[in-house]
Amino acid sequence: MYEQVSHSLLNDILIGLDPKVDSNDLKHFYIRLGANFYAIHSLFHQLYGDRRDFRLQMHKLVEVMAKQYTNRSSELRQSDLAREKDHDWFLSQKLAGYALYCQEYADSIHGMHSKLDYLQELGINLVHIMPLLDGPKGRNDGGYAVRDFRKIDSKYGTLKDLDNLSADMRSRDMLLVLDVVVNHTSDEHEWATKARKGQKKYQDYYYTYTDRKIPDLFEQTMPEVFPETAPGNFTWNAEMEKWVMTVFNDFQWDLNYKNPAVFIEMIDIILFWANHGADVIRLDAVAFLWKKVGSTCQNEREAHLILQLMKDCCQVTAPGALFIAEAIVAPVEIIKYFGEDAVNAKECEIAYNATFMALLWEAVATKKTILLEKGVRSLPTKLDRATWLNYIRCHDDIGLGFDDNDIREAGYDPQLHRRFLVDYYTGQYPASTATGVAFGRNEKTGDARISGSLASLAGLENALLIHDEAATAISINTIILLHSMIASFGGIPLLYYGDSIGTLNDNTYLSDENKHHDSRWVHRPRLNWDNAEKRHVEGTVEYRIFHPIKKILAIRKQIPAFADLNNREMLTISNPHLFAFLRFTSSGIHSRVLVVANFDTAAQTLELKDLEAVNVFEHTQVRELYTDKVLSTRHGQLVIPPLGFYWLQL
Ligand code: GLC
C-alpha cells in the first residue's frame, strides 16, 4: 500500500516538474530517483508526515534535487557513473588524506595550486580544506559559524577560484573535501537576521522561545559543549526578545530540522558544493541534528533519519559524492553514523575514528596498550561499504571519550585515569614531556579535554628547548609510530597540516582577542614554509619526520591488505607494551600482514608462541615491509625497537 502511495506521489511530482528542469537530459536522474524514491518518501514521511503541506514539501524537495542535477557538469556526471560502477572505490589503501586551513597553509585558494605539489610529494591524494565560507569577521569558530552557505569568504578568494582549484585537483587525481555546517548558522546569517527582525518564517528555522520554560527543561539533560566559554545551551536575543538555542557558541544558532524547509535548504546547499567539485562533504556536528526535551539532544534517532534522507537525496543527484560524519561521540554511537540496519552505508560512508585517536594518545602516555586493545576490540564491526578517517591530530581538541568499562577492565579508575591523561598532556605529570594545553575544563563535572600540536604533545617542543637529542629521538619516533598506526589500521589516514614537519604549538592566539579564550588555536598555526624546506636537509627534525611519513604512505599504498574491507583481526599479546593485529586479503601479494607496534621507550620482545593460534610464522624468517629487511624468527621471538613498528609479511 505504502509503495503505491509513493509511486503515485512520484508520478504527480514528475508531471508537475518545472519545464525548464524537465527539458534537460534527466535519464540518469530519473533512474536514480526511481530507485531511491520509496526510501526518500518513507523517511521524509517519518519526519514530516504529520504536516498538512507534506506533499508540497515533498514536491519542493524533488524540485531541488532535479534543479541541482541539471546544474551538475557533464564531467561530474561521468565521474558519478564511474564511481557507481566501482562502488567500493574509497575503501582502497591508496587513499591518504590531509586536513588544512587554506589561509594558514597557502594564504588563499589561489595559493593552494602551487602547494599541491608538496602534498603530492608526501603522497596525499585527499585534501580537506577547512571551512571557506563567508563568516563574521571576529569570532567565527574557525569558520564553523557560517554567514552565507553559498559564498566563499573574500579573504580566501572567490567561487571561481574554488572551481579552478577543484579542476586542478581532479586533473591530479586528488579528492577535495569541503565542509557543510549542517547543525547551525552564524547569528549573522540572513535567516538569523530575518528571525531577529521578527519574521516568524525564519524564527521557525531555529529553536526560539519567549520564556525560559522549555529552555530550562532542555537544560536539565543537555550537556555543555564549551563549558568554559559558552556555558548553557540558550542565548537571549534582545532584538527578537526570545531565547535561541546555541549549543556551541552563543553566536552559532542551532537549526531546527523539525522544519522541512531547513532540511530542503540544506540538501540544496550540500548539492551545490557537490556540483562545485567536492568529492567528499564533511557534515559538521551531525550528532546534534535533532533536539528533544528530556534527552542529551545528541545521537537521537531522528538525527540518523535526517542523515539517511540526505544520503538518499545525494544518491539521486550526485551519487559520486561521499559524506563524512563528524560525530565525536561514544564508540557505540559513532558507528551508527554509517547507517544502522543496512549492509551498505546508508548515512555517511566515512566517519572520524575519534575512539582510535584517543586510544592511541592513551597508549603513548601509559606506554602500554591494554586499553588500546580493549577499546579497539569494543568497537562494533562497521558496515561493509564504510570506512574510518584515522587521525592523530585535527583542528579540534582531544576528547577522552573511552568507554568507562574498558578503562576499568584495563585496571584503572575512569575518572582518575582521565585526569592523569589531561595532567600528562598538559605537562603537569612529573614524568611527562608533553606541552599541551587543557581545553573545555568543566568545573561541574571535572572533565577536560586536550589541545596541542602533535609534535608538542609528543614532547618535541620540550626536547628541542633543552637540546636533548635522546628526547628528540623519542619524540620523533612517537610521531612516526602514530602515523604507522593510522596508515595500517584500516581506513583513510588523515594527516593534519604541519605534523609531517614537526610543527610545534603556536601561542600567538593568546594575544588575539577573538581567539585567546579557545586553546584549540594553539594547534592551528600558519605553516612555516621555511621549515618545510628543511625536509630536504638531512639531519633536520623536518627531514627526520617527513621522510618516514612519506615512506609509510608509499608502502601502505602497495599493501592491498591495508584496504578497509573489515579485514582486521586483533591479536592478544602477553607483552603489555605491544599492540598487534593482522590485516589480510583473500589473495595476491602481501595478502597477510602482521602489524606490531611497541609503545614503550625501551625495546620489547614479542613471543611468537603468543601468535600460535593464528599460525602466523611458518618459516624461520619474515620480511618487514617498511624497512624491506628480513628478520629471523628462529628463536621464537622478535624484538621490536623502542617506539618501533613492524609490518611483517606472512
Ligand atoms: C565541529 C568542528 C569544531 C566546531 C564545532 C561547531 O565539531 O570540528 O571545530 O567548533 O563543530 O561547529
What DSSP assignment string belongs to 174-225? -EEEEEE--SEEETTSHHHHHHHTT-HHHHTTB-EESSSHHHHHHHHH---S
Ligand 1 center to residue 345 CA distance, Å? 23
The b-or-e profile of 449-486 (16+ CB within 10 A means b, else e) is bbbbbbbbbbbbbbbbeeeeeebbebbbbbbbbbbbbb
pLDDT, one tens digit per residue, over 635-648 is: 899 999 999 999 99
Distance between CA atoms of 545 and 464, rounded to whole angstroms? 14
Closest Cα to atom 3 of ligand 1: 396
pLDDT at res. 54: 97
pLDDT at res. 344: 66
Q: What is the DSSP string of 316-337?
A: HH-TT-EEEE-----HHHHGGG
Residue 1 pLDDT more than 60? no
pLDDT at res. 14: 85
Q: Which atom of ligand 1 is nearest to the CA of 144?
A: 12
Distance between CA atoms of 60 and 39, rounded to whole angstroms? 17
- Residue among 326, 396, 518, 600 flagged as catalytic: 326
pLDDT at res. 343: 63
Assess contact for 434 and 456: CB atoms under 8 A.
yes
Ligand 1 pocket residues where CB is under 6 Å: 141-142, 144, 181, 248, 284-285, 326, 395-396
Ligand 1 center to residue 285 CA distance, Å? 6
| Best probe residue, ligand 1, of 245, 254, 396 (max atoms within 8 Å of C-beta) | 396
Ligand 1 center to residue 514 CA distance, Å? 16
Q: Is 578 helix (H, G, I), strand (E, B) or coil?
A: strand
pLDDT, one tens digit per residue, over 38-56 is: 999 999 999 999 999 999 9
Q: What is the mean pLDDT of the chain?
A: 95
Which uninterrupted H or E stretch holds 68? Answer: helix 54-71
Arithmetic mean of pLDDT, 356-380: 96
Cβ neighbors of 140 (< 8 A, separation 6 or more) are 186, 251
Arithmetic mean of pLDDT, 605-632: 88
Q: Residue 163 — very low, low, confident or very high, per pLDDT cuts 50/70/90? A: very high
- Residue among 188, 279, 284, 373 flagged as catalytic: 284
**Is pLDDT larger for residue 14 or for residue 216?**
216
Q: Which atom of ligand 1 is nearest to the CA of 520?
A: 9
pLDDT, one tens digit per residue, over 266-323 is: 999 999 999 999 999 999 999 999 999 999 999 999 999 999 999 999 999 999 999 9
pLDDT, one tens digit per residue, over 444-473 is: 787 899 999 999 999 999 999 999 999 999
pLDDT at res. 381: 86
Arithmetic mean of pLDDT, 412-437: 96
Q: Does residue 533 have an active-site annotation? A: no
Arithmetic mean of pLDDT, 23-31: 87
Distance between CA atoms of 405 and 401, rounded to whole angstroms? 12
pLDDT, one tens digit per residue, over 204-260 is: 999 999 999 999 999 999 999 999 889 999 999 999 999 999 999 999 999 999 999
Per-residue 3-state assignment (H helix, E strand, C coil) for 82-93: HHHHCCCHHHCC
pLDDT, one tens digit per residue, over 77-110 is: 999 999 999 999 999 999 999 999 999 999 999 9
Q: Which atom of ligand 1 is nearest to the CA of 181?
A: 12
Spatial CA neighbour of 485 closest among 638, 410, 375: 375
| Best probe residue, ligand 1, of 144, 398, 439, 449 (max atoms within 8 Å of C-beta) | 144
**DSSP character at residue 67:** H
Q: Does residue 326 have an active-site annotation? A: yes
Q: Which three cell numbers stand for residue 412?
A: 584503572
Ligand 1 center to residue 144 CA distance, Å? 6
Q: How far is CA 35 from CA 31, 41, 319, 498, in A?
A: 6, 11, 12, 44
Residue 186 pLDDT more than 90? yes
Ligand 1 center to residue 200 CA distance, Å? 28
